[in-house]
Structure 1
């Protein structure tokens, strides 16, 4: 879809919003690229830093170095100097041009980075307009699916809304920040050309009912009859309308011509894109199943397709995970749950599947995962919130986390004790007891709140974000064979990083800095509280399972140093060429572990 046929006039950002979005992106890029050791920040005076670039430009700013050696930069302070002239830094694209040599960017990589920068700024200015005047307290009260449309998004990826492949019309109609509903294309697919699996309680007739009311089901049935289609011979497959037009109609043209794939039309409820773009929630019925659909756009370092190898095992794997949550005493008492993947379909491309090393995006174009909505898990007096939303700030710099703490009536330490006990402990327990590692970043965890206090957590996204520790763990002997065959097995130290990097670095790194600014809770006390919660859990676990000491030693979350995992560096180094596999993060110099520091530095407040 182009702007010309979108039916709406293009919106233009104000100069004020444009400068705010650019300055924020420059500050974020400086902070992350210095953290990843691609750029070097020199401290000029206490609290003042300079990044000198080979181009002759340099950037100066005020910042506080956090416990992670990450610079918490005051956006309003960032200035650019070049040829003796100093100005406010309000041009993010110019920053990347200035830093191109230091980042070792080829001309092609820099060109694509500037493309992603332009797209990210377009989305960021739209968000500034949408959030204008909404306080952190009001943001914190929004339903989760509505709040996701107002979030800044991935805090680590510097150009996190690059969406290469989309234009202004697609941003306006299908972007998360649009807040607009999307009608879905429905196909009928012959089972013989698909890989699929479903929970026994969810046949495909039930899945259709989650997306359509009675009148739409009747309209679909009439369309099927007119084409001679019955659900005894075909599987129903929803497709994002952009994906259908841009990739499926031509790439799967042969299968369509042979009748292996049949086009039915647009039917059913509209869906709201969530912050990950490819996950959609039912706009009319929030408790209905979510849909995860492939979108072959390049965003936050990879194409947002859906790998097919997990489709057959996804329902059984998530059912097994839910059983652990219900039967394991540590998980049950903390009300840990799973947003189960109840069904999935993947249609491999008949030719790309024969080509070893074909770009992975061509192997992930057509499929769907049906997944439980977090709303369906909330009991009376409970509501849900994506963990990444805690970091979102309003125009005055107040965060959703700060607003929840204030409205809960608890102090910051007590509120955080609940967060750590109900979120971090279950992740750590799954790791140590079962050898199950989850990449638990802010999108993969949904908090269940009661009276604005974290009461439990819901886990999701097991397709590639769940890995197993090497070695024998008797506790996971009940793992479904279909999952056992496809899940990756990694050394214990690697899986420790799924918790440390996936959650501590990707969520807590920003939360601890924000709450120090907002509440005065020092970062060392933040991590001392986390360490205390984990130590108490270890004592509980030892009393139930005497063999846990060996597990805690294998998954040593308290060791003095941890590896520094860098996601932006690998994108800059690898460039934008097609690859057969998704990018793998790079490793920098070790980080001093805040949990180790919390154990070894005395508290001045007696905490």
Structure 2
């Protein structure tokens, strides 16, 4: 076997960790990953009007398109169908790339470089964005080489197996999982699709420097007793005593291992030397990284809480701001208490089974040097913080199981979508299955908006499906305080709640439905169902319209609001997430003003406008009778 010197007296072989870091980068897998990402880039950038493919001809229901690079040398040809919401369904097998008339294989990095100018990528940002694209290709090859579960296997899989096998997170972003900061040694330890269960780091942090907040009925002692247990608490207290310090001075705080090694142990060295931070060791339990990369699931004790920890990497348009802001940490538990109390007794939410998992405790440490030297909004101030969140495992009943909603967009390495497998094995027609899903997911979101002026960020990673067999029965919503907004009544709310209030112009007030639900999730789901031949795009959107109309017919007392904020209106602003990221991929939005700074480009035709009840015969009452079955649930 070949060998080479690794430095000093160490000898490495092809089977060593250096070789394993790149073992999945095989030419065939690399070609597939590049084809997939180039197709996605064309589709999403065209959807946002950054690129304008030219229609050359139409044939058998497909358009044949050409996309020319600005330098005139590069050219892409492909066939595609344009579905509702200007969704580009591109046939990957049809993509042909030429440069100076020479045919070349698709190359996602070359594609970004070729179209840098129309994409609006600044020269200074281009190298970082290219690194993000390379990182996504790297992880795609890993998933194809290692995570080869078929959809048949996944349909029966447990919650965490599904969580670690997902092919797609945020589907609208081209650069959706760059994770710059992770080395190839870090990747198998901390990336959700690669990592096995691992321990997390625990610190003791000075009470005087730490803001610790909980929901009513919970304190630090009870939280630690439930999360760590008496044996670990005693061992950690002894380590503090061994340093000649008083354990009563300190709170315990979990830390992401990467954050400890790459960030805190060096930049917080003065705090450690002064005895304000004490390294305690590793957790007695093992944890599983989730698709929401800062969040860990307790694999040793699956009923314990999630823990979410600051992580200073570049991911999804934020540099270092995968931290957790101090202000959010202090207001999160009281906000969660208020929100869950508001919604707990609502009849519509009870009927749909809509559930929130609260962020019940937060801890945030203030570095004295950072506080003195840095601006209040500097992300470096938020790098030592943690959140504990309730666990949905404790909410399920016999016969139920959990599945991330991102799974509905998952496609296995054979090109088969999991959603089609679930439908086929459910015993229901595709239409009946989608009706049940929409009743579980869309109905409570509509009700929260119209009855309470609340909008969530209900993308696939933030929603957990509660499944009965192969069919969605209800949903669990998470990530409440950071990404949920209140649109009315700010003056009447306590200060801790007011932080989540937003004043939006009427034209974009329904972004929480039109952008987050319709454009950023349903558009992709509808295309997947159309591509697989499971359900047509037209029929999917008709079912969405049916769900909306049935909900509205069941709540006549909200008729004035339905008219004022018309979900059936003919069009809405096109909110462009990639434009936002390409403008600044190190700070997607201002964390202190997240409701401003969005990028819009023209308008999108509303895919359900043509199916509005007033445009159909029979009216709303007929629709309601046909849609709902016994007890208000959709017929199956």
TM-score by length of structure 1 reads: 0.91
Query: 1:295, CA displacement in angstroms?
Result: 0.7
User: What corresponds to 2:566 in structure 1?
Assistant: 556
2:412 aligned with 1:399, yes or no? no
Q: Secondary structure at the match of 2:172?
A: coil
Q: Distance in 2 between matches of 1:487 and 1:348?
A: 26
User: What corresponds to 1:176 in structure 2?
Assistant: 192
Decide whether aligned partners of structure 1 residues 291 and 472 sit closer, same or farther in structure 2, where only a CA change above 3 A counts. closer
> Contact 2:359 / 2:389 at 8 angstroms: preserved in 1?
yes
User: What corresponds to 2:104 in structure 1?
Assistant: 87
Gaps of 5+ in 2: 1-6, 618-625, 628-636
User: What corresponds to 1:523 in structure 2?
Assistant: 537
Q: Report Cα offsets for 1:112-165 as digits up to 9, x if no partner.
A: 121111111111100111232x22121222222221211122211112221122
User: What corresponds to 2:551 in structure 1?
Assistant: 537
Decide whether aligned partners of structure 1 residues 103 and 493 sit closer, same or farther in structure 2, where only a CA change above 3 A counts. closer
Q: Secondary structure at the match of 2:97?
A: strand
User: What corresponds to 1:465 in structure 2?
Assistant: 483
User: What corresponds to 1:339 in structure 2?
Assistant: 357
Query: 1:465, CA displacement in angstroms?
Result: 0.7
Pairing of 1:117-516 with structure 2 (within 5 A) = 117-132=133-148, 134-152=149-167, 153-212=169-228, 215-227=231-243, 232-303=248-319, 304-353=322-371, 360-471=378-489, 481-485=495-499, 487-491=501-505, 493-516=507-530
> Contact 1:78 / 1:88 at 8 angstroms: preserved in 2?
no
2:54 aligned with 1:42, yes or no? yes
2:42 aligned with 1:26, yes or no? no
Decide whether aligned partners of structure 1 residues 321 and 145 sit closer, same or farther in structure 2, where only a CA change above 3 A counts. farther
Query: 1:481, CA displacement in angstroms?
Result: 4.6
> Contact 2:568 / 2:609 at 8 angstroms: preserved in 1?
yes
Aligned residues: CA RMSD = 2.7
Q: Distance in 1 between matches of 2:531 and 2:32?
A: 20
User: What corresponds to 2:580 in structure 1?
Assistant: 570
Query: 1:60, CA displacement in angstroms?
Result: 1.2
Decide whether aligned partners of structure 1 residues 180 and 601 sit closer, same or farther in structure 2, where only a CA change above 3 A counts. farther
2:22 to 8, 11, 18: 11
Q: Distance in 1 between matches of 2:386 and 2:57?
A: 54
Q: Distance in 2 between matches of 1:114 and 1:352?
A: 31
Of stretches 484-493 and 459-468 in structure 1, the one that deviates more from structure 2 is 484-493
Query: 1:580, CA displacement in angstroms?
Result: 6.4
Q: Secondary structure at the match of 1:196?
A: strand
Decide whether aligned partners of structure 1 residues 290 and 83 sit closer, same or farther in structure 2, where only a CA change above 3 A counts. same
Decide whether aligned partners of structure 1 residues 76 and 305 sit closer, same or farther in structure 2, where only a CA change above 3 A counts. farther
Q: Secondary structure at the match of 1:379?
A: coil
Q: Distance in 2 between matches of 1:53 and 1:471?
A: 50
Gaps of 5+ in 1: none
Q: Distance in 1 between matches of 2:297 and 2:537?
A: 36
Q: Secondary structure at the match of 2:510?
A: helix
Decide whether aligned partners of structure 1 residues 99 and 224 sit closer, same or farther in structure 2, where only a CA change above 3 A counts. same
Q: Distance in 2 between matches of 1:235 and 1:283?
A: 24
User: What corresponds to 2:632 in structure 1?
Assistant: none
2:84 aligned with 1:67, yes or no? yes
Decide whether aligned partners of structure 1 residues 352 and 504 sit closer, same or farther in structure 2, where only a CA change above 3 A counts. farther
Q: Distance in 1 between matches of 2:177 and 2:186?
A: 12
Decide whether aligned partners of structure 1 residues 455 and 581 sit closer, same or farther in structure 2, where only a CA change above 3 A counts. closer
Of stretches 317-326 and 506-515 in structure 1, the one that deviates more from structure 2 is 317-326
Q: Secondary structure at the match of 1:464?
A: helix
2:609 to 592, 596, 600: 596
Q: Secondary structure at the match of 1:448?
A: strand
